[in-house]
C-alpha cells in the first residue's frame, strides 16, 4: 500500500517503528508502530460481503474488517451460514468473522467450520445491545455474568481451532462490568480485545467513557483495540495522544460516513471535495450494480440503498436534504433518477 509519510520521519528497519515520531521523544521508552492499524467495524446490514469487497477498490487505509455477527444457535446448521464466507467470494478487506452466542458448543461448532474454510481467527460478540439479544443473555446481556463468561471460555477454548478475539462494551448497565471481566480474560490466550467504551444501556447515545477505557487498558494483558466515535482525523489524533499504547483502532459510522477517513488518518491526505464526490459516486454505483444482481423486487434494492445512505456521505453539502430526497423514493427508477440528480448538483 502506498504510504505518504511526513518528511523527516525515520523508520527502524527491523521493527517498522517510527524513531523520531513527534509523539515519541524517547524511542526506547515509547515504541510506536509506523502507521496505526485500522479496522472497519461490523455494522449489521451495512458492512456485508459486497461492501467489504468493493470498499478497497475505491478507498485506502483500512487493514482489516470484523464482519457483522453470525448467530450461532443449536437449530442453525453452520453450513447454511457459511455461504457468504467462502474465500473466493471475499476478495476485499481481509475479514474476521464474528459470532454471537452464549453457548460454547454452538459457538465452537460454527467457529471451527469457519476455520475449516480458511478463517484463522473469529471474534466473539459481547457488545450487541439490542433488547431481544440482551434478553436471551447474549451480546452485552452476558457482560454482567462473569461466571458465565468464564465457563464459556473454559469450555470453548479447549475445542476451538481458530484464534479468538472479543469485542465488548464496558458493561450492560454498570460500566464497571468490564473491570471484573479483564482478570478473567487475562487467563485465556486471546488474540485481542476490542473495546467500545459505552454500556449496552447507552446503545449509541451519550459520551464514550475514556477514563474507564484507560482503566481497561491498564488491566488488560492482551492487546486492546479502541472503538467508538472516531469521526475525523483529529478525533483519532487526540485518542492516540492519550492512549499511546494503542495501535489498533476500529471505526464504524465515521468510516461509513467518510470512507476517506482511513487515508486521512494514516497519510494525512486531504482530497479536493469534487474528487471525493466523484469517487463516492463511483463506489455507490458499483455497490448498486452488485446489490441489484442479488436483490430481486423493486423495493428490495431501494431499501438496501436507503440503508447505505443512513451514514454514507456525511461530508456532503446538504447531507440531510439528500437523505430526505432518497427516502422519498420507493422504486428502482425513482431512486436512480434521484441519485443522478443529487450527484450532478454536487459537482
Ligand X SMILES: Cc1cc2nc3c(=O)[nH]c(=O)nc-3n(C[C@H](O)[C@H](O)[C@H](O)COP(=O)(O)O)c2cc1C
Residue among 61, 92, 141, 228 that touches ligand X (CB under 6 A) = 228
**Site membership for ligand X, residue 70 (CB under 6 A):** no
| Residue 251 beta carbon to ligand X: minimum distance, rounded to whole angstroms | 5
Binding region for ligand X (CB under 6 A) out of 6-14, 37-45, 214-222, 292-300: 37-45
The 13-32 site mask, x for binding ligand X (CB under 6 A), equals: --------------------
Q: How far is CA 225 from CA 41, 63, 151, 192, 244, in A?
A: 11, 13, 24, 7, 12
- Is residue 306 within 8 Å of 46, Cβ to Cβ? no
Q: For ligand X, which is the closer residue by CB, 144 or 168?
A: 168
Grid cell at residue 276: 471525493
Diameter over CA atoms, the chain = 61
| Residue 99 beta carbon to ligand X: minimum distance, rounded to whole angstroms | 10
Residue among 37, 43, 157, 179 that touches ligand X (CB under 6 A) = 43
Residue among 53, 90, 165, 227 that touches ligand X (CB under 6 A) = 227
**Among 215, 229, 228, 135, CA closest to 181:** 215
Residue among 68, 78, 197, 257 that touches ligand X (CB under 6 A) = 68
196 pairs with which residues across the strands? 169
Helix 273-294 with 298-311: angle, nearest 10 deg: 150
Grid cell at residue 12: 527502524
The 119-158 site mask, x for binding ligand X (CB under 6 A), equals: ------x-xx------------------------------
Q: For ligand X, which is the closer residue by CB, 125 or 199?
A: 125
Measured in Å, how far apart are the chain's first and last C-alpha atoms? 29
Residues in 251-310 that interact with ligand X by CB under 6 A: 251-254
| DSSP, res 125 | E
**Among 150, 202, 156, CA closest to 175:** 202
**Which residues in this chain contact ligand X in the complex, by CB under 6 A?**
41-44, 68-69, 98, 125, 127-128, 167, 196, 204, 227-230, 251-254
Amino acid at each position: 500500500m502506498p504510504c505518504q509519510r511526513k518528511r523527516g520521519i525515520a523508520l527502524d528497519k527491523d521493527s517498522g517503528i517510527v524513531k523520531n515520531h513527534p509523539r515519541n521523544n524517547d524511542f526506547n521508552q515509547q515504541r510506536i508502530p509506523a502507521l496505526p492499524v485500522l479496522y472497519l467495524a461490523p455494522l449489521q446490514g451495512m458492512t456485508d460481503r459486497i461492501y467489504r469487497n468493493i470498499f478497497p477498490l475505491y478507498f485506502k487505509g483500512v487493514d482489516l474488517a470484523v464482519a457483522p455477527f453470525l448467530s450461532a444457535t443449536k437449530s442453525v446448521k453452520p453450513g447454511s451460514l457459511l455461504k457468504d464466507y467462502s474465500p473466493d467470494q471475499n476478495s476485499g478487506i481481509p475479514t474476521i468473522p464474528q459470532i454471537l452466542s452464549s453457548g460454547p458448543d454452538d459457538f465452537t461448532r460454527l467457529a471451527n467450520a469457519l476455520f475449516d474454510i480458511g478463517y484463522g481467527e473469529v471474534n466473539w460478540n459481547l457488545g450487541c445491545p439490542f433488547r431481544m439479544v440482551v434478553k436471551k443473555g447474549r451480546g452485552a446481556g452476558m457482560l454482567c455474568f462473569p461466571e458465565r463468561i468464564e465457563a464459556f471460555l473454559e469450555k470453548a477454548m479447549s475445542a476451538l481451532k481458530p484464534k479468538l478475539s472479543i469485542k465488548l462494551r464496558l458493561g450492560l448497565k454498570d460500566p464497571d462490568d468490564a473491570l471484573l471481566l479483564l482478570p478473567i480474560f487475562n487467563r485465556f490466550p486471546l488474540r485481542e480485545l476490542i473495546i467500545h467504551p459505552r454500556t449496552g444501556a447507552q446503545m449509541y447515545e451519550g459520551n464514550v467513557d475514556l477514563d474507564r477505557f484507560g482503566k481497561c487498558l491498564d488491566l488488560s494483558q492482551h492487546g486492546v483495540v479502541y472503538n467508538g466515535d472516531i469521526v475525523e482525523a483529529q478525533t483519532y489524533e487526540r485518542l492516540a495522544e492519550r492512549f499511546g499504547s494503542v495501535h489498533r483502532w476500529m471505526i464504524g459510522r465515521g468510516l461509513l460516513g467518510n470512507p476517506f477517513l482511513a487515508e486521512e488518518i494514516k497519510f494525512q491526505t486531504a482530497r479536493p471535495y469534487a474528487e471525493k464526490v466523484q469517487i463516492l459516486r463511483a463506489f455507490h454505483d458499483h455497490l448498486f450494480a452488485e446489490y441489484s444482481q442479488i436483490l430481486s423486487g423493486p423495493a428490495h434494492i431501494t431499501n438496501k440503498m436507503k440503508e447505505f445512505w443512513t451514514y454514507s456521505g456525511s461530508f456532503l453539502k446538504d447531507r440531510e436534504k439528500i437523505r430526505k430526497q432518497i427516502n422519498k423514493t420507493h422504486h428502482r427508477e425513482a431512486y436512480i433518477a434521484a441519485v443522478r440528480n443529487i450527484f450532478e448538483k454536487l459537482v
